[in-house]
Structure 1
Amino acid sequence: MDFNKNEALREVLVEANATNSAGASDRFQKVVGVCHLLVSLGVILSMDYFLKRAFVAAAIKFPSALFGMFCIFSVLLILDCFAPPMAIKAMAFFEPATMFIQRWLPLFYVPAMVVLPLAVKDIPAASGAKIVFIIVGGWLASCCVAGYTALTVRNIVKTEMIPAEPMEKPPPFSTFEIASWSVIFLVFFIIAYFFPIALGTTARTSLPFLLAATVLGYMIGSRLPSSVKSLLHPIVCCALSADLAAMAFGYVSRIGLDAVLGDYLTKVPSNPGAGDILMGFLGSVIISFAFSMFKQKRLVKRHAAEIFTSVILSCIFSLYSTAFVGRIVGLEPALTVSILPRCITVALALSIVSLFEGANSSLTAAAVVLTGLIGANFVQALLDKLRLNDPIARGIATASSAHGLGTAALSAKEPEALPFCAIAYALNGIFGSLLCSVPVVRRSLTLIAGQVLM
């Protein structure tokens, strides 16, 4: 009997030791994972920082992050040709950073939407109606141009489709994360109201609670049902959350909404607001596109004719038709220039309008998001009506006309179109940035829009 008891006790101790060892191993792996994320993300952030400084010092008017993206993509292609194991190791090293950016991607270009009330308050209602007309009509036309171009080239080359590389999805936000950020928001809102001196003045006072409100809005928006997301996209939910927090603080502190929003996005490096912190990641977002494109390199190479032809023609059409229609309907030149990159993802659209004098970046962000929301709701029905049934044509038409939001909506229902959406989504922004970086093209667009060149 005693022997059996001792044997049972020994088994319990062995099992307990094994459990403790497993727990210690899991904790160690988590620490290693966090360190891996910080290092890989730090490398991308550092690259973006030093490229910006170098381009400013050299007075180069070209998006420095786009140059960085091309450099990384080129290096990966060279490694893949001469040392494939090195390319695999490089992709594995940067995977935590790219997954982090993918998980938080919309959050980084929301600030321009948050301060939209400041940007549009002086825009007349008639001009607003013209902008909406251009955006809706432009989305429809761009979708047709991209879709039919892709279908025409597809019928000519007749290349058989190959399966795409699987794209890993980031994990959803947990209830614990939402609860934690809710507590952070409430704590810093109270501190900012009762003890503003403790946090400093102006933008620093409202930075923590406005940053928490923005993050919280994005988390809640991403957890909404799909049927609700089609109308209230996480980007919109995120911007509304920050605006409501700013409105509440402006009311209780009696300093007004405009003052709080002015502190949200200061564009002053010495006194950054919550929006400045988030938009500081935009360059890193663009650089990270290189890894997504490299992952689908086989698909790009096999269907290069359909992809590049339709993306290039659609991008040229989108830019010049927007400038032309804006001139025809009598929209103010500065507003027309602001909505030129309406079909390009916000991260790159904001880089593009920074090249044009007098452009309103907040209006650019709003135009891009509105275009995406229209595409997310109606692109599938439109493609069906146009009888564009080929997945390549559907994917390219969606991404070229409604960028990321339209891509997300279509890919959820038609996964076979996702890789073409992703490729066209990136290439459309890249080609648009390259095109607008050419001085002759910028001058022609501004002249067509009716802007007087100085």
Structure 2
Amino acid sequence: MFLSLPVGGWLASLAVAGYTALTVRKIVKTEMIPAEPMGKPSPFSSLEVWFWSGIFLSSFILALTNPTALGTSARTCLPFLLAATVLGYMVGTGLPSNVKKVLHPIICCALSADLAALAFGYFSKSGTDAVLGDYLTKVPSNPGAGDILMGFLGSVIISFAFSMFKQRKLVKRHASEIFSSVIIATIFSLYSTAIIGRVIGLEPILTVSILPRCITVALALSIVSLFGGANTSLTAAVVVLTGLVGANFVQAVMDKLQLNDPIARGIATASSAHGLGTAALSAKEPEALPFCAIAYALTGIFGSLLCSVPAVRQSLLYIAG
């Protein structure tokens, strides 16, 4: 009974987002235009590399010599860790093609931040785990294996930004379909989960824990923390389960529902199965990638904003019981 909620909820959210996009397209009567081809990225200049290297070295030395200058430990480490992440991307993009097959720029981002944390932990005698704990989990504790892997999430999300910027004209042209579909799908996802959880007799704490089932795990954990007392482990598990279901079945289900429009397919996938569904669809349907990426980001942003409103939180808690 419990597992039917995230699976059935994914299917319902998919249908709501997809059909909303189609309906709005019929109202505004926008025509689909081809996406611009993704050209080879331009290499970074020496000035850019030296600029970020200077930021990294200065913030690293300042953190070592005067750790209280920037406030708490997390704020002390954040400047040079962010600079190390940017430098990692710059280095990764400049590597030969055969090396990139192993050291992708996204992997270089996370590895460079880990190496910077390792160096700071060694020289400051604070330990690497404490630095990474501050950076990845925002609390001064030892990070687990999942926290280390979550370090890659920020770099992956940033990679979507390049695709969205490249297709900004396309996204602007279809803004009405994108925003209306995301807003309606997010509201539907939150309130339908609360209602169904109440109807099938779930414990209120379980219902609240799975409310953000269609939002990427990093933001879903922040959302459930607003409600207090939620089971974050259950939240992460349900979000991942929703993404896995979407990644495996989203194309077949959309074909059955006759959601053939690439805009509707992209928005429906990202609004119902977040990052995993986006990655699965974009690999086979690149024309849907810009809409997947923007809907993926907007779903998380709007869900977070919506749940930060006290009246909305209270209404969801009331419905959940």
Give the TM-score category using the shorter length: 0.5 to 0.7
> What is the alpha-carbon distance in structure 2 between the residues aligned to residue 276 and residue 404 of structure 1?
17
* Aligned pair partner of 2:266 in 374, 390, 395: 395
Retained in 2: the 8 A contact 1:345–1:403? yes
SS at match of 1:273: coil
For 2:158 and 2:103, locate their aligned partners in 1 and report how far apart those are by CA, in whole Å.
25
Amino acid at match of 1:141: A
Q: Percent identity?
A: 69
Q: Is the 8 A contact 1:145 1:314 kept in 2?
A: yes
For residue 369 of structure 1, the aligned residue among 234, 240, 244 is 240
The 1-side partners of 2:272 and 2:234 are apart by 18
Deviation at 1:300, TM superposition (A): 2.3
Q: Distance in 2 between matches of 1:338 and 1:405?
A: 20
Distance 1:306 1:370, change over 3 A: same
Pick aligned residue for 1:439 from 302, 305, 310 = 310
Write the mapping of 1:145-160 to structure 2, written as runs, cut at 5 A.
145-160=16-31
How far did 1:283 drift? 9.6
Query: Would the alpha carbon gap of residues 368 and 162 (structure 1) be closer, same or farther in structure 2, given more than 3 Å must change?
Result: same
Aligned residue among 114, 133, 142 for 1:272? 142
Residue 195 of structure 2 corresponds to residue 297 of structure 1: no
CA RMSD of aligned residues (A): 3.8
TM-score, normalising length from structure 1? 0.48
Larger CA deviation: 136-145 vs 277-286: 277-286
In the alignment, the residues of structure 2 paired with residue 343 and residue 273 of structure 1 have an alpha-carbon distance, to the nearest angstrom, of: 25
CA contact (8 A) 1:285 1:347 kept: no
Please report how far the alpha carbon of residue 273 of structure 1 lies from its aligned counterpart in structure 2 after TM superposition.
Answer: 2.7
- CA shift at 1:294, angstroms? 4.2
- Counterpart of 1:397 in structure 2: which amino acid? A
SS in 2 for 1:330: coil
Between the two proteins, the alignment pairs up a number of residues equal to: 245
Pair 1:136–1:277, CA change in 2 (3 A):
closer
Q: How does 1:80-99 map to 2 (within 5 A)?
A: none
Does residue 347 of structure 1 match 2:218? yes
C-alpha distance after superposition, 1:262-317 (max 9, x if no partner): x9xx9794442335863885995699489445444322210011111111100000
Provide closer, same or farther for how the CA distance between residues 286 and 173 of structure 1 changes in structure 2, counting only shifts above 3 A: closer
Q: Structure 2: how far apart are the matches of 1:424 and 1:360?
A: 26
- Answer yes or no: is the 8 Å Cα contact 1:356–1:442 preserved in 2: yes
Per the alignment, residue 134 of structure 1 pairs with: 5
Give the Cα–Cα distance (whole angstroms) in 1 for the partners of residues 153 and 252 of structure 2. 34
Larger mean CA deviation between 430-439 and 156-165 belongs to: 156-165
Structure 1 counterpart of 2:227? 356
Pairwise CA distance, 1:341 = 0.6
| Alpha-carbon distance in structure 2 between the residues aligned to 1:355 and 1:399 | 23
Closer/same/farther in 2, CA of residues 270 and 303 from structure 1, 3 Å limit: closer
Give the Cα separation in 1 of the matches to 2:264 and 2:12: 15
How far apart, CA to CA, are the structure 1 residues paired with 2:208 and 2:313?
Answer: 10
Q: CA deviation at 1:173?
A: 2.9
Question: Contact between 2:160 and 2:293, CA under 8 Å: does it hold in 1?
Answer: no
Contact 1:286 1:347 (8 Å CA) reproduced? no
Aligned to 1:173: 102
Q: TM-score, normalised by structure 2?
A: 0.66
Q: Name the structure 2 match of 1:307.
A: 178
Corresponding residue SS for 1:161: coil
> CA shift at 1:140, angstroms?
0.6
The aligned residue for residue 335 of structure 1 is 206
- Measure the CA separation in 2 of the matches of 1:392 and 1:276: 33
- Counterpart CA distance in 2 for 1:153 and 1:438 is 27
CA contact (8 A) 2:227 2:313 kept: yes
- Counterpart in the other structure of 1:162: 33
Residue 433 of structure 1, CA deviation: 0.8
Give me the whole-angstrom Cα distance separating, in 1, the residues matched to 2:242 and 2:311. 27
Structure 2: runs of 5+ lacking an equivalent: 42-92, 94-99, 112-126
1:47-87 per-position Cα deviation (integer Å, ceiling 9, x unaligned): xxxxxxxxxxxxxxxxxxxxxxxxxxxxxxxxxxxxxxxxx
Specify the code of the residue in structure 2 equivalent to 1:393. Answer: A
**Deviation of the 1:159 alpha carbon:** 1.2
The structural deviation recorded for 1:154 is 1.2
Match of 2:191 in 1: 320
Deviations 1:216-272 (A, max 9, x none): xxxxxxxxxxxxxxxxxxxxxxxxxxxxxxxxxxxxxxxxxxxxxxx9xx9794442
Question: Is the contact made by 2:137 and 2:147 (CA closer than 8 Å) also made in structure 1?
Answer: no
Greater gyration radius: 1
